C-alpha cells in the first residue's frame, strides 16, 4: 500500500512575494503557486520515465502510469513498491528533467510481473507538464484494448460530477494551478479526486488509486478538467473504465479511440447539458 506520507499536499505549494496590479496600481502581496518537480519511475530496475508532476501521491502516480501504459493491469502483478523518502536511491535525471538527480522523495521503484509493452520504454523519456506520454514511434494495437462494461449512468449523476470534482480540488482552490481527475460510481458518489500540474498525471493518480484499492473499473466513470485527447482516452480504456467525461472538448483522435476501444466519451459537460461522442448506450435514465 502507498506510503502514509504520499497523500500529504503540504509540499505541493510554494509561497512567493509578488506584485499584483489592480485598478491602475501595483502593490506587494504574498501568493502561493503549485510546485512542479521531476519524479523518476523505475520498473524492475530500469528507469521508465521522468514525469514533471505535483509532489504528493507519488506511489499512486507511478502505479497508475504503469497501468495506463499497459504494463500492469492488476495489483497482484506488483511484487514490491519502494518510495524514496530519505535519499536512499542514487538517481541522475537526464537534461530537461530538473536540476541534478531526482532527489529524496522523487523516485518510486516498482518490481512487477509486466506485460509485453515494455519495449516502448527502452529509452527513458522526460514527460513535461503540458505533454502526454504518447510514443508515436511504436504503433499501439487498439484492437487489443476493449472495454466491455454495460454499466449505465443516469444523466443527473454525470451532470453533478464537475461540481463534485471542483469542490475536492484543494490545491486548485488556493493556487489555481492544477488539473483535476475524479472517479465516481453510478450512484453519484465521488470515490476519489486527485490533482496535478499535468492533466495526464492527475488521471494516473486516480487510476493508481483504483488499482491499489481494488475498485472495479467496470463500475466507474472518470471526470476530467482537461480535454479528451488520444492519450487520456487510451488511459481510461487500458484501465477498463467505461465512461470518460470532461468539461472540455474531445479531439478527433480521442473520439476515434473511444469508439474503437468501447469507451463512452462525454464532452462539454457544463451546466445542464453535455455531448456524447461514443457509445451512448451507457447513459440513460
CATH number for the domain including 87?
3.10.20.10
* Residues 180 and 130 grouped into a single domain: no
Better-scored residue on pLDDT, 155 or 114: 155
Question: What pLDDT, on the 0 to 100 scale, is given for residue 199?
Answer: 94
Better-scored residue on pLDDT, 275 or 105: 275
Angstrom distance (rounded) from CA 262 to CA 278: 8
Whether 176 maps to a domain, the answer reads yes
Question: What pLDDT, on the 0 to 100 scale, is given for residue 117?
Answer: 58
Of the residues 139, 164, 188, the one at which a domain ends: 139
Whether 20 maps to a domain, the answer reads no
Which region, left, alpha or beta, applies to residue 209 given φ > 0 means left and ψ of -120 to 50 means alpha? alpha
Mean pLDDT of 68-97: 73
Phi, psi angles (nearest 5°) of residue 52: -80, 120
Task: Judge whether 48 and 20 are in contact, CB under 8 Å.
Answer: no
Looking at the chain, list the stretches that DSSP marks H as alpha helix, in order from N- to C-terminal side.
58-68, 155-167, 170-175, 199-212, 230-239, 252-261
Angstrom distance (rounded) from CA 181 to CA 249: 15
Angstrom distance (rounded) from CA 108 to CA 48: 11
Q: Which of 72-76, 122-126, 199-203 has the lowest mean pLDDT?
A: 122-126
The strand pairing partners of 148, in sequence order, are none
Closest by alpha carbon to 265, among 230, 239, 238? 230
Structure confidence by residue, pLDDT tens digits, 224-254: 999 999 999 999 999 999 999 999 999 999 9
Prediction pTM value: 0.87
Categorize the per-residue pLDDT at 214 as very low, low, confident or very high, splitting at 50, 70 and 90. very high
* Residues 126 and 160 grouped into a single domain: no
Position 63 pLDDT exceeds 50: yes
Describe the strand order of the beta sheet including 107-112 as a list of residue ranges: 78-83, 107-112, 37-43, 46-53, 125-127
Domain extent, residue 274, equals 155-282
* Residues 159 and 278 grouped into a single domain: yes
* Residues 204 and 125 grouped into a single domain: no
Which triple of cell numbers denotes residue 201? 498525471
Domain count of the fold of the chain: 2
Structure confidence by residue, pLDDT tens digits, 150-205: 999 999 999 999 999 999 999 999 999 999 999 999 999 999 999 999 999 999 99
Position 133 pLDDT exceeds 60: no
Whether 187 maps to a domain, the answer reads yes
Question: What pLDDT, on the 0 to 100 scale, is given for residue 169?
Answer: 97
66 has catalytic annotation: no
Whether 19 maps to a domain, the answer reads no
Of the residues 77, 107, 139, the one at which a domain ends: 139
Of 66, 84, 131, 245, which is the active-site residue? 131
Whether 259 maps to a domain, the answer reads yes
* Residues 278 and 160 grouped into a single domain: yes
Position 98 pLDDT exceeds 50: no
Mean pLDDT of 118-143: 60
Sign of the C-alpha dihedral computed for residues 14, 20, 22 and 27 taken in this order: positive
* Residues 43 and 162 grouped into a single domain: no
* Residues 179 and 270 grouped into a single domain: yes
* C-alpha angle 160-164-169 in degrees, rounded to nearest 5: 150
Categorize the per-residue pLDDT at 90 as very low, low, confident or very high, splitting at 50, 70 and 90. very low
Of the residues 139, 164, 190, the one at which a domain ends: 139
What CATH number is associated with residue 277?
3.40.140.10
Whether 254 maps to a domain, the answer reads yes
Amino acid at each position: 500500500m502507498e506510503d502514509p506520507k504520499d497523500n500529504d499536499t503540504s509540499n505541493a505549494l510554494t509561497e512567493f512575494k509578488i506584485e499584483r496590479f489592480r485598478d491602475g496600481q501595483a502593490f506587494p502581496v504574498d501568493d502561493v503557486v503549485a510546485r512542479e518537480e521531476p519524479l523518476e519511475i523505475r520498473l524492475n530496475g530500469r528507469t521508465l520515465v521522468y514525469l514533471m508532476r505535483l509532489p504528493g501521491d507519488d506511489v499512486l502516480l507511478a502505479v497508475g502510469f504503469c497501468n495506463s501504459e499497459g504494463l500492469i493491469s492488476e495489483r497482484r502483478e506488483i511484487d514490491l513498491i519502494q518510495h524514496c523518502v530519505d535519499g536512499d536511491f542514487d538517481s541522475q535525471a537526464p537534461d530537461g528533467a530538473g536540476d541534478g538527480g531526482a532527489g529524496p522523495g522523487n523516485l518510486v521503484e516498482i518490481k512487477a510481473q509486466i506485460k509485453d509493452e515494455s519495449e516502448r520504454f527502452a529509452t527513458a523519456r522526460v514527460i513535461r507538464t503540458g505533454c502526454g506520454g504518447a510514443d508515436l514511434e511504436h504503433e499501439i494495437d487498439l484492437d487489443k484494448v476493449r472495454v466491455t462494461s454495460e454499466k449505465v449512468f443516469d444523466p443527473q449523476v454525470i451532470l453533478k460530477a464537475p461540481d463534485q470534482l471542483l469542490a475536492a480540488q484543494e490545491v486548485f482552490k488556493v493556487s489555481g494551478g492544477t488539473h483535476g481527475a475524479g472517479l465516481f460510481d453510478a450512484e453519484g458518489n465521488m470515490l476519489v479526486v486527485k490533482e496535478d500540474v499535468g492533466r495526464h498525471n492527475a488521471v494516473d493518480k486516480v487510476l493508481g488509486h483504483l488499482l491499489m484499492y481494488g475498485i472495479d473499473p467496470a463500475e466507474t466513470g472518470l471526470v476530467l478538467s482537461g480535454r479528451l485527447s488520444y492519450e487520456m482516452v487510451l488511459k481510461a480504456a487500458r484501465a477498463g473504465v467505461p465512461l470518460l467525461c470532461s468539461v472540455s472538448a474531445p479531439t478527433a483522435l480521442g473520439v476515434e479511440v473511444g469508439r474503437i476501444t468501447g469507451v463512452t466519451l462525454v464532452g462539454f459537460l457544463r451546466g445542464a447539458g453535455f455531448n456524447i461522442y461514443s457509445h451512448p448506450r451507457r447513459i440513460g435514465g
